[in-house]
Structure 1
Amino acid sequence: MKRPFLTLVCIFTSLIVNAQGIPQKQKVANLETFTRLCGYVRYFHPSDEAANLNWDKFIYYGSKEVENAANQKELVEKLKGLFNPIAPAVQLIEENNAKPFDLKSISPPNKVGMKEITWQHYGLGSEGGFYKSARTNRGFKTKDPTRAEIGGASSSIKAEAYRGKKFRLKAWMRTDVKDGQGQFWVRVDREGKSYGFFNNMDDRPIKSKEWKAYEIAGTIDIDASYLYFGAFLVSEGKIWIDNFTLEIEENGIWNKIPLQNSSFEQADTQGWYTKSKGYNYATVKDDHVDGQQALLISDNSSYEIIKSIFDEKLAFGAYFTKPIGNGLKCMVPQVLLGDERQTYPSANANLLKELQQRMAKASPDLFDASDVYTRLTSINIAWNVFQHFFPYKEEIKLEWEKELPLALDAAYKSNTRQEFGQVLRVMTAKLKDGHVSVTFGQQNYYSIQADVACVENKLLISHADDTVPLKVGDIILSINGIPALDYFNNIKSEISGSDQWKNSNATRQFLQGYKDTAFTLKVSRDGKEQEFSFTRANLRKSPEQAKTRKLADGVYYVNIGNTEMKDITAMLPEFTTAKAIICDLRGYPRGNHDLISYLLTKKDKDEWMFVPKIISPDYQNVTYTGLGWEMTPKKPHISAKIIFITGGGAVSYAESYMGFIKHYKLATIVGQPTAGANGDVNAFVLPGNYSIRFTGLKVKLHDGGQMFSLGIQPDVFVNQTISGITAGKDEYLEKALALIK
């Protein structure tokens, strides 16, 4: 009797699947194949059509096209329809097909005037930055390497008279951008040189070619001193801005506040700061909204033809064959021949035009993460960046291929901007890169005036101002009813980096949240449980810390995190006669690494930073350009006993610093391992305006050993204790003092 019932169930299930479309697992598999092919063509196939493509819109449209392919044959048809107009030389074959690539298909009948064109990646770069991506023998946009990241125009008003009042800033903008964007912004500066309200439209960038009005609204902080506002161009392109108006609400009535030169009618942009290096500013009469003029901001990049950006390059005939899933492989030529006009073979112009029209019709002007195809597009782009350009996959034994289906599936299941941000953070946490960050919109930087430490597997208050009812040593039992360790570990799951960096970062984030959000803490104090309620109203102010101080006769303390080099230089006469100097580098240096020169006894020639030179996919066959600081000993030499305090919060520049201290044995290192994330940061922006940063080059110890995720190891380990924190002790400093005695 069971068999007919099971048969009916199977039939019914089949009908449900057919009614709903392609099963989720097949959709993800189709998108995996599409994602892999996108990366191979985008970064390693040098056709003009692919290089000039709007890849965001292409991937968005392509995701819609391929996800519902019912079988391999249909998927191949979809992929060919997408890629033939941009990469006619790329071939798709079945996985068991072993045929070689036919070079005749990319050999022009007449090679006169033809040059070899292939991709070179000095890291993953934008044109003109430290990291560069370019095709040989093709146009390359150059810019001053010291150019500002944004081209801004800003103005301000005194804000004391408007404290605690609601405001709204309105202005008009239009743009002409490809990879760039325009944004308006407002910031309140508070007394004491701290910041209050801030909004820079990071969650709604402007790319419209048409004039449109935009608004930023909020409440001016109760201790405000100035309100700054303006607009800026990110990266390259042009923006036009006009007609700024500021209104303040008083007794239910919105009053217009006078602004100087609000429509740019006065000469020389009077009343505005317009000095971003690498950008041009001009008032224009032929394109405006209000009055007779508007302000045009444009970048001043220029093009030049380059032969190559480094020596390593492939020759004509180079190609690769890679599996892309669904029983398919792609055969991708890496070098094409081309003249000044076109790479060979050129795509069918009609097919390309039709593809571009379909892309434009199917994709939005502004990507939003509430749209599943925006999320799928972002996963496609982000996964490929790390697949082909992340320098540390070997060091952490990363199986990045396994993360793609998980991330695509999670993209389907997330719905909001915040949820998808968490998907990206969980995905990038697998990289164990302390430089990785995923930012979007308003960030969780608001808190209360207290700090948290994780010690002996417990969360406790390590510092508290008089403005909060917490006490140092309070053991946190729960936050909003969630056990403290569970909440802490959930934060860590979205942080990329070593264990020591995760712990340092998660304790900093533990009390943070959106502005004006409420939370409760249950703590144990002297064996009794107490519960407190809080509102995150302000940014956390760092406790005051001394720069340099004399601890005893001949014994000095230097906080490397807040002492400028000029102050250290002024102390050199005392340091050269000192018995001992304790240097505290548990944070980020204040541009004072020249102190190392006064400790060195021989010239440094070490290369420990390595910029990848990438010409092949999947981060294979990579060569490097080695770099170092090339530091030279300076006089007067400091011969005192030196102790450096450090720990998991010392990251990046701090680790460059500590690398010298460790390798040249310039000091005894006390504390915990540093974060293990060093090297110039690279960054990219995803549709939906998610910004992702990561370590773009490979950094090693001076002796060639692994630094990534391991950090600089101390000579003397120190473990904080609950009793020590409760008693107000700095156990790191106490250990350093003990070593001096």
Structure 2
Amino acid sequence: MKKYILILTLLFGQCTHTHFSFNGDFENIDSISKKPIGWSFSFNEEQAAGYSTKLDSAVKQNGKYSISLQKINDKSEFGVIDYMIPEAFDGKVIELRGYMKTAGVKRGFAGLWLRLDGDGKMLGFENMKRQGIGGTKDWKQYIIKLPYPAGVKAIHFGGVNAGDGKVWFDNFELFIDDKPIEKVKQLILKKADTDTSFSRNSKISSILMTPRQITNLTITGQYWGFLKYHHPSVSQGDYNWDAELFRLLPGVINAKNNNQLSSVLEKYLDKLPAPKICKVCNERIDRNEVLKPDYGELLTGQFLSKSLTNKLDFIKNNRNIGENYWIGREWAGNPRFKNEKSYNSIAYPDAGFRLLSLYRYWSMINYYYPYKNLIGKDWNKVLIEFIPKFINASNGKEYTLVTLELIGKLKDCHANIMGGNPTLSSIKGNYAAPFQAKFIENKLVITGYYLDTLNIKDKLKIGDVISEINGKKVSDLIKTYLHIQPGSNYSAQLRDLPDNYLLRNNDPSLKIIVQRGNLTFPYDAPLADVRLTSFNNINYTKSTGHFLINNDIGYIYPARYRNDELLSIKKDFEHTKGIVIDMRCYPSDFMPFTFGNYIKSNQTDFVKFECFNISKPGSFIYSGKASNGGGIISNFYKGRIIVIVNSTTQSQAEYTTMAFQSSPNVKVIGSQTAGADGNVSLIRLPGNIATAISGIGIFYPDGTPTQQVGVKIDYVIKPTIRGIRQGKDELLEKAIHIIEKNELK
């Protein structure tokens, strides 16, 4: 099943009339490569090694040639041929027709495939997997149909062999609304969408790292990112800015000194249209500006010529302030990174693409990350540090790890590699422990069981301490993995380390040393295959969103709570002395203005926002506040309220806690929260890497931050190993005690 998901991933205005044609029958052959013009015979080196793709003049359905696709070894799970049309059309339904012949296809399937790409994402896909075509079959025409939605910017189609044996393809045709695609009205796309010169590789396989080269590439990264978001022609999509980097880099790499570097960059800049005078670009920024742009060395005069510096300064003062091809604003005010290609088919990007990945991410953070001032290191120095790391990454795993290390520099729990990245999963290990372990009192303690199998409960007990894993002390393993475990703070990193690294392996067992009281013993812990096993979610064990602990105390579990429960909660909790809100989870409903109004009599602010200034990249301003409370006074809850938090309390859970604790009868107990708040903005990087950032700055009304530090806590309380062994929830017990003894201060 997994390989078919992988196949799916990898196979991943005004109107005018334009004649369009394509080489669907393979008859137009390139005189140099001897391949059909426009066709790609694989997505990567593994496919090229695992499947032989040939132009066949002996076996064909029509004309002179067909293309054959034959498995020759197990280096790849499937092979493809691919044709891309970087155009958009006016229509509702797209249809692919093509002929296919099979010989001995087994342990998989053969088929046509069709994919529709939009703004950095897949809008439609079909590969005939469900038809299960295999065996030996003569020529037959097959048909695929997909809805053709608005926003399509490229069409990919071709053939796939996901099994043993040999498959031939011939005579592909495309139709939109039953019309041949050559006769369909085209939509005008930006030049950034139609330039596909470097869609497979950058033509820069390696770069020799020297101090001079690092300087060249550092300045170029700052220059490339600056122009991307400031120059009107670039920021409006008149250039494929990824491709332009690859056109610029050869000259940069050959520059021997600052004068030569300035000359290369200035000659390139002179090819771009000069910006028009912007009369409003230098108007005074709101006094609420809290972060100012940082242009690195571009305008200092230390590295670049005076002539080039003046031209860059002119662009800054006459920058694009209108619609931007690369950046937009989500409804909540966080940045939306648009039109970024993820190059899914490139499993291991070459040196040019690795540099693009670094430049893209660095520029996004430099201009659109609200917490850049909290990174703890000059972001320009981070660029210098990571240029050799990205260039020297010698394979897909090293590239993934150095990208993860860069992401970790943000100290943001929202910033991680997302979406079950297969390379990162293989690094972590395909096998995981069937038990849960958490760091308690600075020791790795078993706290629960994900599975009831493997006889784990007979061998390992709740409260057991793991001191060594595969011959290494846990304390040493923390140091080994901490730099590739992103997190806003140390508590959040420790929260995720066990499940992500410490208790993962590529072998089906772990050798651990267990401490149980005065007893210490070794144990070969059996692991479960994460690809095949469904692990029980033991963190969300409450079945309902609210109930009575006893006649005097109500309990709210936000992970199960729904706002439509509020009326019954008011009735059930009417005569209670207090409520415990267990925020050691992620809320399933938005509570600040519903439940928050129920527990707060007067309307007051509970949060202040910081958002990016879309007309001035790199500038951030306080953009407003939010308040709750102030409902009908006689109906608000007048009892004592305790909110329990810990490192699991993240994002919306932290925001909700802030809303609740603005009420005077609310106190917060527990330990440091995750320290990651603000609506999430997604980022796509070459090599099919998806990540994100906290896109809005979240602060208490007085300006106190929550990012990295977490929410304010009135009573710091942490669980103990003794309590875990006794089966106690010490934080819940403390919350009940505070309410019963009226210990609110």
TM-score by length of 1: 0.60
Which position in structure 1 is the counterpart of 2:382?
403
User: What CA deviation, in whole Å up to 9, does each residue of 1:610-656 have, x standing for no partner?
Assistant: 22214445x34x33422425555257322222111111211111111
Which position in structure 2 is the counterpart of 1:475?
465
* 2:493 aligned counterpart, secondary structure: helix
* 1:628 aligned counterpart, secondary structure: strand
Which position in structure 1 is the counterpart of 2:636?
637
Residue type at the aligned position of 1:45: H
Which position in structure 1 is the counterpart of 2:710?
711
User: What CA deviation, in whole Å up to 9, does each residue of 1:583-617 have, x standing for no partner?
Assistant: 10012111151211110101245551222214445
Between the aligned partners of 1:577 and 1:374, the Cα distance in structure 2 is 64
Q: Which 5+ residue runs of structure 1 have no aligned equivalent?
A: 1-19, 108-115, 135-139, 142-177, 182-203, 206-365
1:671 Cα offset (Å) = 0.5
Which position in structure 1 is the counterpart of 2:269?
83
Between the aligned partners of 1:569 and 1:516, the Cα distance in structure 2 is 52
Change (3 A) 1:549 1:483: same
Between the aligned partners of 1:508 and 1:120, the Cα distance in structure 2 is 45
Contact 1:676 1:708 in 2 (8 A): yes
Residue type at the aligned position of 2:536: K
User: What CA deviation, in whole Å up to 9, does each residue of 1:267-313 have, x standing for no partner?
Assistant: xxxxxxxxxxxxxxxxxxxxxxxxxxxxxxxxxxxxxxxxxxxxxxx
Contact 1:505 1:649 in 2 (8 A): no
Which position in structure 2 is the counterpart of 1:501?
492
Contact 1:611 1:697 in 2 (8 A): yes
Residue type at the aligned position of 1:540: F
User: What CA deviation, in whole Å up to 9, does each residue of 1:97-121 have, x standing for no partner?
Assistant: 66798799989xxxxxxxx872369
Which position in structure 2 is the counterpart of 1:612?
612
Q: Which 5+ residue runs of structure 2 have no aligned equivalent?
A: 1-205, 277-297, 741-745
Tell whether 2:530 aligns with 1:540: no
Between the aligned partners of 2:635 and 2:340, the Cα distance in structure 1 is 50
Residue type at the aligned position of 1:641: R
Between the aligned partners of 2:306 and 2:234, the Cα distance in structure 1 is 28
1:409 Cα offset (Å) = 1.1
Tell whether 2:431 aligns with 1:434: no
Change (3 A) 1:390 1:120: farther
Between the aligned partners of 1:726 and 1:122, the Cα distance in structure 2 is 57
Tell whether 2:223 aligns with 1:37: yes
Which position in structure 2 is the counterpart of 1:587?
585
Residue type at the aligned position of 1:649: T
1:461 Cα offset (Å) = 0.7
Specify which of 412, 435, 440 is matched with residue 455 of structure 1: 440
Contact 1:476 1:523 in 2 (8 A): yes
Between the aligned partners of 1:731 and 1:631, the Cα distance in structure 2 is 31
Change (3 A) 1:584 1:123: farther
1:487 Cα offset (Å) = 2.1
Contact 2:598 2:629 in 1 (8 A): no
Tell whether 2:653 aligns with 1:654: yes
Contact 1:514 1:536 in 2 (8 A): no
1:35 Cα offset (Å) = 0.1
What does 1:72-221 align with in structure 2 at a 5 Å threshold?
A: 72-86=258-272, 95=303, 118-119=320-321, 125-126=327-328, 179=340, 205=344
Change (3 A) 1:625 1:123: farther
The range that moved more, 679-688 or 465-474, is 465-474
Change (3 A) 1:653 1:21: closer
Between the aligned partners of 2:661 and 2:393, the Cα distance in structure 1 is 45
Residue type at the aligned position of 2:696: L
Contact 1:609 1:627 in 2 (8 A): yes
1:462 Cα offset (Å) = 1.2
Contact 2:638 2:665 in 1 (8 A): no
1:36 Cα offset (Å) = 0.6
Change (3 A) 1:568 1:512: farther
Which position in structure 2 is the counterpart of 1:529?
521
What does 1:316-715 align with in structure 2 at a 5 Å threshold?
A: 366-439=345-418, 441-442=421-422, 444=425, 447-464=432-449, 465-467=451-453, 468=456, 469-494=459-484, 495-510=486-501, 513=504, 518-526=509-517, 527-537=519-529, 538-543=533-538, 544-547=541-544, 548-593=546-591, 594-605=594-605, 608-617=608-617, 619-620=618-619, 622-628=620-626, 630=628, 632-633=630-631, 636-715=635-714
Higher RCO (CA-CA < 8 Å; seq separation 6+): 1
Which position in structure 2 is the counterpart of 1:271?
none
Between the aligned partners of 1:379 and 1:563, the Cα distance in structure 2 is 41
Contact 1:610 1:627 in 2 (8 A): no
Change (3 A) 1:694 1:404: same
* 2:320 aligned counterpart, secondary structure: strand
Contact 1:123 1:133 in 2 (8 A): no
1:379 Cα offset (Å) = 0.5
* 1:47 aligned counterpart, secondary structure: helix
Change (3 A) 1:729 1:402: same
Contact 1:122 1:133 in 2 (8 A): no
* 2:357 aligned counterpart, secondary structure: helix
Give the RMSD, CA atoms, in angstroms.
Answer: 3.6
Between the aligned partners of 1:714 and 1:49, the Cα distance in structure 2 is 44
Change (3 A) 1:422 1:579: same
* 2:321 aligned counterpart, secondary structure: strand
The range that moved more, 438-447 or 564-573, is 438-447
Change (3 A) 1:478 1:434: same
* 2:547 aligned counterpart, secondary structure: strand
Change (3 A) 1:24 1:534: farther
Change (3 A) 1:510 1:117: closer
1:539 Cα offset (Å) = 4.2
* Percent of residue pairs identical: 22
Change (3 A) 1:714 1:424: same
User: What CA deviation, in whole Å up to 9, does each residue of 1:532-587 have, x standing for no partner?
Assistant: 23233224321233433332222222212222233343222021211221110012
Change (3 A) 1:389 1:707: same
* 1:644 aligned counterpart, secondary structure: strand
Residue type at the aligned position of 1:406: E
User: What CA deviation, in whole Å up to 9, does each residue of 1:168-217 have, x standing for no partner?
Assistant: xxxxxxxxxx6468xxxxxxxxxxxxxxxxxxxxxx73xxxxxxxxxxxx
Contact 1:676 1:707 in 2 (8 A): yes
Change (3 A) 1:451 1:392: same
Contact 2:335 2:612 in 1 (8 A): no
* 1:642 aligned counterpart, secondary structure: strand
Between the aligned partners of 2:379 and 2:460, the Cα distance in structure 1 is 43
Contact 1:655 1:712 in 2 (8 A): yes
Change (3 A) 1:665 1:52: farther
Residue type at the aligned position of 1:636: N
Residue type at the aligned position of 1:564: R
1:530 Cα offset (Å) = 2.0
Contact 1:646 1:669 in 2 (8 A): yes
TM-score by length of 2: 0.59
The range that moved more, 391-400 or 720-729, is 391-400
Between the aligned partners of 2:312 and 2:725, the Cα distance in structure 1 is 76
Between the aligned partners of 1:550 and 1:715, the Cα distance in structure 2 is 24
Between the aligned partners of 2:654 and 2:240, the Cα distance in structure 1 is 38
Between the aligned partners of 1:474 and 1:120, the Cα distance in structure 2 is 60
1:689 Cα offset (Å) = 1.8
Change (3 A) 1:123 1:704: farther
Between the aligned partners of 1:97 and 1:106, the Cα distance in structure 2 is 14
Contact 1:120 1:133 in 2 (8 A): no
Residue type at the aligned position of 2:470: N
Which position in structure 1 is the counterpart of 2:65?
none
